[in-house]
Amino acid sequence: MKIAPFNIEKYFEKYEGKVPYILCSTGTEPLTLKELLELADKEILQLWENLNLAYMESSGHYLLRNEITKLHTKINPENILTSAPVEGIFLTFNSLLEKGDHVIVTFPAYEALYKVPEAIGCEVTKWEAQLTNNGWTFDISFLKDNIKNNTKLIVINFPHNPTGYQPSKEEFNEIIELARKNNIILFSDEIYRFLEYNPKDHLNSASDIYENAISLFGLSKTFGMPGLRSGWLTTQNLTLIKTLKGLKDYTTIAGSIPGEILSIITLKSKDQLIKRNLDIIQNNLKILDNFFDQHKEKFVWHKPKAATIGFIELLLPISSEQFCSDLIEKAGILLMPSQVFEYKRNTFRLGFGKKNMPLVIKKLESYLKGL
């Protein structure tokens, strides 16, 4: 399989470690190992201190899978396969898709969600985000109109990266019913789940609602633990789990046992960590509201409903790519232009899940004064 270059990762690779201020990161504030271990109860701390660095079962540590079930209503330990988040995408698509299958994907997107199907030889339809008076949205009529006889998979990502869009419960259920009615498997990237600013906007996992949905979640975004490389797939369909597990025998075989023990500690402290990260996000959103209100002639701020990112319209008479390049050179601030996403609208991604965002916004203010 030959896959096109991963532009987002190449962009970070080019600048991370060289640019002092990262303002397009999608994650929340990471914890140190010391901070995480301080959250552990005596039983798990003893397990950590006496850890045997051997292989473990490929489905994932049984204690971790038990904790994952507490995030669901219809998922049991046997309905779970642990993996690195991007590995979960790779496993699912390579297990289910064949050349000639049709796939519909929300777009713009994390590139693996459409480039892996393209590399397999699938026909990919990009379900593009639209701007309305109420901000970013996805038109469900487009989804209805583009389902074909050979549509094998619908791929969604809510809360959405990079717009922060979150559908209503009614819209989400309508998408699921379209998949069910047409006997289409639904892949739901839920990596920002639980980062809804208003609890009323929280959505159940697709894997709890639809028997042929596969949901992806993990610790990299909501919990600020990208270094653990800890994620998982959930589905009520045990045949799908068996197929996914079979392909994992050819990738990582089993996860990192230290990583999975640390993941257990994380999930046992989930309420505390989610609150911590939402507090950071809410504080940063107030700063961004004020910033964009003062710079209406330069930017359009479509405030998200969830997650740690926004997709900002640039009103200056230059491309977002030029703007971001100049910002790197003159202010040492990294934003991500829409061109990296292969998206034509003049926008850029901004991240607001980190504690240092207020400082970086002040640096951005200084740069704008020089324009």
Question: According to the model, what pLDDT value does residue 56 have?
Answer: 86
| Domain 7-32+271-369 matches domain 33-269 at the CATH topology level | no
Instruction: Note the pLDDT tens digit of each residue in 56-84.
Output: 889 999 999 999 999 999 999 999 999 99
Instruction: Note the pLDDT tens digit of each residue in 250-267.
Output: 999 999 999 999 999 999
The domain locations on the chain are 7-32+271-369, 33-269
Nearby residues of 1 by Cβ (< 8 Å), 6 or more positions away: 94, 119, 120
Instruction: Note the pLDDT tens digit of each residue in 233-248.
Output: 999 999 999 999 999 9
Q: Pick from 2, 268, 256, 216: which is nearest to 110 by CA?
A: 216
Looking at domain 7-32+271-369, does it have CATH number 3.90.1150.10?
yes
DSSP for 324-341, please give it.
HHHHHHHH-EE-EEGGGG
pTM over 0.85: yes
User: From 3.30.365.10, 3.90.230.10, 3.40.640.10, 3.30.830.10, which CATH number describes the 33-269 domain?
Assistant: 3.40.640.10
Position 117: which residue type? P
Q: pLDDT at residue 52 above 80?
A: yes
Residue with tokens 């397990």: 47
Kindly indicate the confidence band of residue 370, based on its pLDDT and cuts at 50, 70 and 90: confident
CA 202 to CA 196: how far, in whole Å? 6
Q: At what angle do helices 112-120 and 85-96 cross, to 10 degrees?
A: 30
